Structures are given as structure tokens and as C-alpha cells.
Structure 1
């Protein structure tokens, strides 16, 4: 195991984020505010000294990763295993539309076991299992500090899995804000949480919408 520090950065804002529309695997791009967020966050992320950058292959994550990489001599590699949760039938719908159409499923997905999933979509557990493969592969390489650029729902699942949190408690982790990050470091062979939902404004208290990882 070589990794000592892991930073997981959420992408900047998209028009779908602004409209509270669920994206999942839909390949949306950053809006003007999201591009500004990425530029403004980049120096702070670079200061954490990543030695390798791996991004989700979705455009909103790639654009965010590029804003960081341009301040370094690092190339960005992409990996589809870092994609957001597949939200199945909910993709493209607003939060209000999903709550109206699937009230019980929505509540279960938000507040119960990590194995709950949207209709025809993925659970947090499934997402974490594919994302952690990327971490394990990095762990077999030379880098001590890695930056992953990904998505809110994936970050919740991956954080819960790496910290060894009970699966029933993953839903207590709020969604990470746009261009905010989670920082973990390894001590005595175990991952420890250094910062959660960190960003230029410090730790940000979530709004009701931010509590839904995957928007």
C-alpha cells in the first residue's frame, strides 16, 4: 500500500444542479458558475499536492479536473468507474417529480440501507464497490497522494466504505457541495477522515437539497 492521502473532489455546478434535476450518468457540462467554482477551488486542491489525478469520464468531472491539472504538470486520466450513481428511471427528473412518483422508494434511497437503489439504478453499495477498485489500483502504484474528481453520490459511498462505516449509516453523510472535497489520510493501515465537505468557504452547512447525494 503506497497511498497516504486521498482527496475526492466533486465537480462544479451544472445547469441540472441549479434546477435540482437528477443527473446520474447523463453527461452534462459545467455552467458558467461551475467553471468559476472549478477555477477558484483549483489552487486550494493543488496545495494538497496530489501526485496523480483520476477523473470520472463524465464531462462535468473532466472539466473540473482540467481546471486543477492546468496548475500542475500532471495529466488527467479518466475512469468510468468514478461515474455518478446510475439513477435509472429517475435520471432527468427533478427532485419534486421523483418524490411525487416514487415517494417510498425515494425515502428508502435517501435514509436507509446503502443497498437501496432507484428503479433500474444503482445502490450506494454498488457504486462504492466499483469506485474502490480505482483506489486499490492506485494503492498498488508509486503515488502517495491521489486526487479523484467525481460526483456527490459516489463520494458518499466511497467515503463510507473506506472508513469502514456501517452500511446502515452511509445515508447520514450529507452530499458534498459543488467543488468541495473530502480528504482522507491513512494511519496505521486504516483510512481516517481529515476533512469532509471542505472548500474555499470552509466547512459548509448543507441546505435541504445538498442533503441528497446524487443531485
Structure 2
């Protein structure tokens, strides 16, 4: 994979926690709302962004269309005193889909589909779950979004999307990117081929 070179800083925010996150269930394309902790995490992200970038009002803001990401963006903008809804929504930033595995925990999947789960463990980047998509496919979906960024941007999206972006900019090798922990309530700041948590 040829790394993308981003001319501007990119700030990634993973949506806040949902009950399925807490239970370890694969959400993928399911629209699970934030829980109380998730709303607090969205507010924490706003505070971190305010501390990072005094000119936050002039940044571009783009969001996944999924409800948990949009609620996170809405809380973030409310706490920054920015106009509600004055951000772009891009369908290409929706979460990695896990197909028929959505709603199950990894423990349940390993028990019910041992061979498929083993194949995924051997190649998390390239493995396609039944009816779902791989991280490789997700990265190709997200690549044009990054290529089209024209200024410093805040993206509110999902763990899978953040992992794909880390691989796309060359901050982490693809096979390792699929295993990176993506925190809720923090900012992942990408500059060039570096990514740092704030």
C-alpha cells in the first residue's frame, strides 16, 4: 500500500461508548446509540480539541452518518459553542461491516465459527467476515475521503475507520493497524505519517 501524504493535520475522534461496546459486541453497521459514559466521552473530546487547537472554529468537520458518531459530533460541537449540524456527513466514513457476525461477541464467534475466527486471527487486515468487509476494503473506501481533504479537519467516526486511516498514512503497517486500540474520549492527531493520542 502506497501511503497517502496529508498536507494538513487530521484529528480523529472515535464515537463515545455504547452498551454494545461495553458488552464487547460487534456493532459494525448496527446503529447503536451512545450510553451515558459515551456522552461524557464526547464532551471530553471537545475539551481536548479546545486545548489542542485554539482556532477550532475554523476547522473542517466531517462525520460518519451513523447515529453514534453523529451524536458524538453534536455533543462535541455543542460544547465548543459551534453551530449545530454545521458539518459534513460522509457515508464512506461508516464503520467496518461485520456481516452476520454483528451483535455477537468475539467469544461467541470463536465458539460458533471456530475455523472462520481462526482465519481472521491469521489475517485481520485481509479477512472478510461472512457478509461483511475487510479492513483492506474499508481502507479503499476511506482513501478518497482523505485525498479530498483541503484543510485541517476533525473526523468523527469509528474504531475501524481510524485503524484504516493509520494504515493509509503509513503510521502503522496494515497488519498491525487492524489490532491498534482506538480510545473513546481522546483525540488521535495525525500529522504526516505520525499519529499521537491527546
TM-score (norm: length of structure 2): 0.85
> Whole-Å Cα distance in 2 between the matches of residues 106 and 68 of structure 1?
36
Deviation readout 1:41-63 (Å, 9 max, x if unpaired): 21112333340110100011111
> Whole-Å Cα distance in 2 between the matches of residues 42 and 33 of structure 1?
14
> Whole-Å Cα distance in 2 between the matches of residues 168 and 20 of structure 1?
22
- Structure 1 residue corresponding to 2:182, chosen from 166, 173, 176: 176
**Bigger share in strand:** 1
- Structure 1 residue corresponding to 2:118, chosen from 104, 107, 111: 107
Instruction: Answer 1 or 2: higher relative contact order, Cα 8 Å, separation at least 6.
Output: 2
**Shift of residue 17, structure 1, vs aligned partner:** 0.6
**Shift of residue 155, structure 1, vs aligned partner:** 1.0
Instruction: Name the residue aligned to 1:207.
Output: none
Deviation readout 1:137-162 (Å, 9 max, x if unpaired): 11xx3x2x111111111211121111
- Structure 1 residue corresponding to 2:157, chosen from 150, 154, 164: 150
> Whole-Å Cα distance in 2 between the matches of residues 111 and 72 of structure 1?
46
> Whole-Å Cα distance in 2 between the matches of residues 107 and 41 of structure 1?
35
1:22–1:90 Cα contact (<8 Å) kept: yes
- Structure 1, unaligned runs of 5 or more: 186-190, 200-215
Instruction: Name the residue aligned to 2:29.
Output: 25
- Structure 1 residue corresponding to 2:82, chosen from 66, 73, 80: 73
Deviation readout 1:177-201 (Å, 9 max, x if unpaired): 222332111xxxxx22140xx25xx
Greater displacement, 102-111 / 123-132: 102-111
Residues 18 and 2 of structure 1: is their aligned pair in 2 closer, same or farther, counting only changes over 3 Å? Answer: closer
> Whole-Å Cα distance in 1 between the matches of residues 120 and 61 of structure 2?
30
**Shift of residue 19, structure 1, vs aligned partner:** 1.0
- Structure 1 residue corresponding to 2:61, chosen from 28, 50, 53: 53
**Shift of residue 65, structure 1, vs aligned partner:** 1.0
Residues 102 and 132 of structure 1: is their aligned pair in 2 closer, same or farther, counting only changes over 3 Å? Answer: same
**Shift of residue 164, structure 1, vs aligned partner:** 6.5
Instruction: Name the residue aligned to 1:208.
Output: none
Instruction: Name the residue aligned to 2:17.
Output: 13
Residues 46 and 77 of structure 1: is their aligned pair in 2 closer, same or farther, counting only changes over 3 Å? Answer: farther
TM-score (norm: length of structure 1): 0.79
Indicate the RMSD between aligned Cα atoms, in angstroms: 2.1
**What is the number of equivalent residue pairs in this alignment?**
187
Greater displacement, 22-31 / 129-138: 129-138
